[in-house]
Amino acid sequence: MTLFTRRTLMQGGTAAAAAGALTGPALLDWAKAWAQAAPWKPEKGAKLSMLRWKYFVQSEDDAFVKLIDAFSKATGVPVQISRESYEDVQPKASVAANTGTGPDLFWGLYSLPHLFPQKCVDMSDVADYLGKKYGGWVDSAVKYGKSGNKWICIPICYSGNMINYRIEASTKAGFSKFPDKTDAFLEYAKAMKKNNTPGGFALGHASGDGNGWVHWCLWTHGGNTVDAKDKVIINSPETAKALEYAKQLYAEMIPGVAAWNDASNNKAFLAGEINWTDNGISIYVAAKKDATKKQIADDMDHSYWPVGPVGKPTELHLMYPVLAMTYTKYPQACKALMAFMLEADNFNPWIEAAQGYLTHCLNAYDKNPIWTADPKNKVFGEAAKRTLTAGGLGSVGEKAATAIADFVVLDMFANYCTGREDVKGAIAIADRQLKRIYR
């Protein structure tokens, strides 16, 4: 837990200053002017607490700390931040929603707010304000943000989950760039393994990387958990095809991926054990920062996911929505903070500091220099526009959130790839679970 004092601001200040943003008095003046003009006036004596996912890129958190501190100084509202591993935010938020006590704001993962839509403060006015001011929301963010006609959260950003690969090993295997079709990708994986430079995707209970690749695989072969009316349609020849493809791919991966969590592939990639995987930009950022890993940073690049039989991108990137609980005593302060976070003077330096880890959902931020400063960042800038939403064709509500949280699709793939179940068995287990979730 961090209580914002002058000292934490000083610590955070250095990194943000490097990002060339409004700093010190200039930022504070701007923040004060903003607070005067903003449509939301925090309640008297308001103080907020927020539980957020624990950062992956330190400079992102530094910039965040600075932003929050400017908010506190301008509005007089102290904000207490606690951080949890991103998969632990959801259980805590659920318990808080259930008991009606806890942090005022939760900044979590995917469709978290849809687990308890009736406990979220209506954010429609904030979303409209931001959308009008900053070139509109991308489609996927609208889907994540709204329950029925009202916005129940503010989609702050995505974290792109893209292919990370080593350039030299790929060239040696005969691929000058990363394959853009699924068939070619399978050939690539085979060639890479043959050269003793294999890769791998997490097949353990990895909320981000694991769910990312199995949903891509399912969707790109035309499989879906549910249709547009939330009817379960997992039991289809397309799903079977996706499973067959995954099993072939699994055979070319490094052993042990069934045990991987979200951190495993980062460790393995940075140790030079694997040469392709799916991840955010955090591997690249870590490699750039560590002088001993410079060679890896120079020799790696990122790519979109290969496209399969459906013929269009079917990616699943991590959405990070922030929500305010209805039990908060200070809803206006919550709204003010959320709007403040996404204002250009705050958001631009912040996503710059995140070094490509976070992707905006508001179109105006396409112009942020982070996406052009380094060509290896570019693909991450399009995460929000390329992503499908949790639940695929179906609604993004609590049912989709439950299916992801319960690893239904991930377990289906793991069951088949590891040989625990045959195709029919693996699909049947998922089908049964989905039918219960979507009843």
Partner 1 sequence: MGILPRGRVSIVMADIALKSSVKAPAREITAWDRLKVDRNWLGFWFMLPAAAFLILFLAYPLGLGIWLSFTDARLGRPGEFVGLENYDFLSDDPTFWLTVFNTILYTSVASTIKFAVGLYLALLLNERLPFKAIIRAVVLIPFIVPTVLSAIAFWWLFDPQFSIISWSLLKLGLITQSINFLGDPWNARWSVIFANIWRGVPFVAITLLAGLQTVSPSLYEAAVIDGATPWQRFRHITYPLLTPIIAVVMTFSVLFTFTDFQLIWVMTRGGPVNATHLMATFSYQRAIMSGYLGEGSAIATAMIPFLLAAILVSWFGLQRRKWQQGEEND
Q: The sheet that has 359-360: what strands, in order across it?
A: 2-3, 79-84, 48-53, 105-107, 318-324, 154-159, 359-360
How far is it, in rounded angstroms, from Cα 317 to Cα 160? Answer: 5
261 touches partner 1 (CB under 8 A): yes
235 touches partner 1 (CB under 8 A): no
How far is it, in rounded angstroms, from Cα 380 to Cα 159? Answer: 8
Closest by Cα among 320, 398, 305 to 107: 320
Pick between residue 90 and residue 182 the one whose CB is nearest to partner 1. Answer: 90
345 touches partner 1 (CB under 8 A): no
Pick between residue 26 and residue 95 the one whose CB is nearest to partner 1. Answer: 95
Beta strands in 104-177 (DSSP E): 105-107, 146-147, 150-151, 154-159, 162-166
273 touches partner 1 (CB under 8 A): yes
Structure tokens at 219: 């969707």
How far is it, in rounded angstroms, from Cα 375 to Cα 196? Answer: 28
- Residue range at the interface with partner 1 (CB under 8 A); choices 9-17, 151-159, 364-372, 411-419: 411-419
Pick between residue 71 and residue 116 the one whose CB is nearest to partner 1. Answer: 116
- Residue range at the interface with partner 1 (CB under 8 A); choices 40-48, 61-69, 116-124, 305-313: 116-124
User: Looking at 154, 157, 257, 400, which residue binds partner 1 (CB under 8 A)?
Assistant: 257
- Residue range at the interface with partner 1 (CB under 8 A); choices 54-62, 152-160, 256-264, 340-348: 256-264
Contact 173, 188 (CB under 8 A): yes
Pick between residue 25 and residue 255 the one whose CB is nearest to partner 1. Answer: 255
CB under 8 Å to 347, separation ≥6 — which residues?
A: 341, 360, 362, 365
Number of residues in contact with partner 1, rule: CB under 8 A? 40
Residue 132, Cβ density class (10 Å: 0-12 exposed, 13-18 middle, ≥19 buried): exposed
395 touches partner 1 (CB under 8 A): no
Query: Minimum CB separation from partner 1 for residue 123, in Å?
Result: 18
204 touches partner 1 (CB under 8 A): yes
98 touches partner 1 (CB under 8 A): yes
User: Looking at 205, 247, 289, 385, which residue binds partner 1 (CB under 8 A)?
Assistant: 205
Residue 176, Cβ density class (10 Å: 0-12 exposed, 13-18 middle, ≥19 buried): exposed
251 touches partner 1 (CB under 8 A): no
Which positions lie near partner 1, rule CB under 8 A? Answer: 87, 90-91, 94-95, 97-98, 115-116, 118-119, 203-205, 254-261, 264, 267-268, 271, 273, 398, 401-402, 405-406, 411, 414-415, 418, 420, 429, 432, 436
